Amino acid sequence: MSSKRTFARVAVSVCLSAAIGFASFAWRQAPEASAATKADKIISLGSKYLGVKYRFGAPSGSTSAFDCSSFTQYIYGKYGIKLPRVSSTQATKGYKVAKSNLKRGDLVFFTTARTGKKIGHVGVYVGNNRMLHTYGAPGVMYSSINSGYWKSHYVTARRVL
């Protein structure tokens, strides 16, 4: 009878260890999955504003016009991510990400003619070397980060999710 009890204890121990191990694995995976889901939601919300006009200095919370940083502040804020009002300050949040390691939802930063060598523009990386942002006409739009103006003015990226 004692060998049956010993076997039962070993079996229970093995099962509990496996359950704890699997739960631990799932828990470690959850933040990455959660960040990806949040990124998709942020991008989806942002895309609902395609074509909304650009206005430098647009007020926080307004959806009738955006500038680049009021746009990112608004769409991230809807999902609990508080960002400062201006792009250069947004570039100090989260942690730095190499351009070769960008993920959906990362913030990408650029210089502009107005800011010279300082950060003056922010967009949301959406994958496939594209960003969702607003700058000039037509307002909120998708652009490539690896061609034209944006390629030569890229500065850095930050992960805030």
C-alpha–C-alpha distance, residues 155 and 108, integer Å: 8
Asked whether 96 and 114 are in contact (CB, 8 A), the reply is no
68 is an active site residue: yes
Which phi and psi angles does 4 have, rounded to 5°? Answer: -70, -40
Q: Is 153 part of the annotated catalytic residue set?
A: no
Q: Is 121 a catalytic residue?
A: yes
Active-site residue, from 42, 65, 68, 75: 68
As a whole number of angstroms, the distance between CA 78 and CA 75 comes to 5
Q: Which of 38, 133, 158, 159 is catalytic?
A: 133
Indicate which residue of 52, 91, 121, 159 is catalytic: 121
Closest by CA to 124, choosing from 84, 80, 87, is: 87
Catalytic positions, written as ranges:
68, 121, 133
